[in-house]
Amino acid sequence: MTNVTFYFDFGSPNAFLSHRVIPAIEQRTGTKFTYIPALLGGLFKLTGNQSPATAFAGIKNKPEYNRLETQRFIARRSEE
């Protein structure tokens, strides 16, 4: 059996959406996910980095595309 470490960022919508599909992955593959809570914003600050929301804020259409991708993910997963 494979074990995967999943760093769950409490401030990330993507981490939440990923968390929602993990049980199906575990059931389908036999892989076991170990959750480790994280605050990625704190890690960015600690290491002098920026969050993607800040780093890509000036890129035209980036926020709109991210919203579209989130909607696509939700729509695809709601069919399963």
% residues pLDDT > 90 (the chain): 50
Res. 49: pLDDT tops 70:
yes
Chain mean pLDDT for the chain = 89
Most confident of 24-28, 50-54, 76-80: 24-28
Alpha helices in the chain (DSSP H): 13-29, 40-47, 52-55, 62-78
- Predicted pLDDT at 25: 94
**35 Cα distance to chain centroid:** 13
Report the 10 Å Cβ neighbour count for 9. Answer: 19
- Predicted pLDDT at 80: 61
What are the C-alpha distances in Å from 56 to residues 24, 30, 36, 39? 32, 37, 27, 19
pLDDT single digits (tens) 27-39: 999 999 999 999 9
- Predicted pLDDT at 79: 62
